[in-house]
Amino acid sequence: MARPQLKSSPLNELCSALPSLPMRLQEVGRFVAANDYDATTRSMRELAAVAGADPASFTRLAKPFSGRTRGRRQGPNSDVTLVGDKFEAEAAGLARISSGSVAKAAKALHVAQRIWIAGFRSCRSVAELLNYQLRLFRPDAAQLVGGSGPEDLDLGAFHAGDAVVAIGFAPYSTASVLSARAAHRSRATLIAIADTAAAPMAEGAEHLLLFEAASSPGFFPSLTGAIAIAQSLAAVTFVLGGTSAKRRLEETEARLAETSQYFAERG
């Protein structure tokens, strides 16, 4: 007589999936497997405190193994459901960003002599966006760290009076952490855009702007909050610049038009 198959459980699925998870989630997953009772009776933050880990890692781990999530994302409309869930989670994450903290950081950018922006790997797109928007009205001030390549980090060029924006989420880019630490040593104003206050580039930061990288469904971390922070920093810095910033922006737009940088239908 064939033995009845054991019913699958989230814990069994987790143990089976451990080898395929990213290293950070493997560590969290092993803690959950070894402390299954606590995992079902304690909050994410309590578990994270005991494990010495980031609460967002527990949240990210829980999503693929949630019975509710698994049930909703099967069937002919599972892809549409995932998109809807992701939009909902991204909107909730944006609502938790501190507007006041972003505004204070923008004031630091406004008074800075130079603005260095350090973002690497997936965060490079956020750094390039912030750099592009700032250079529209402060072309002599804003500059990407490592603009000539990841090995050319410009770390010796940071000085007091500069502002350094370091962007990152777990697992953290070595180049971003080195940039943040160099900014702190040089006494430049450090602005960290990170997923947690415990992020290594947040150590010593005068301004910490938190976004939720691991709160939305799907395997890939979310950059929505980081992009929103970058665009808000540029917008507020422009407003603080007053008529001077407006004049520089008009000059930039005129130069772009003269060099035919924008497509236009010809009659």
User: In this structure, what token pair is assigned to residue 229?
Assistant: 């922070």
The 10s digit of each residue's pLDDT in 164-182 is 999 999 888 899 999 999 9
* Residues 192, 164: Cα–Cα separation, whole Å: 8
**Which pLDDT belongs to residue 94?**
85
171 compared with 127, residue with greater pLDDT = 127
Calculate the dihedral angle through the C-alpha atoms of 30, 36, 41, 44, rounding to the nearest 10 degrees.
10
CB 186 within 8 A of CB 159: yes
pTM: 0.70
Q: pLDDT for 197-240, tens place per residue?
A: 999 999 999 999 999 887 666 667 789 999 999 999 999 999 99
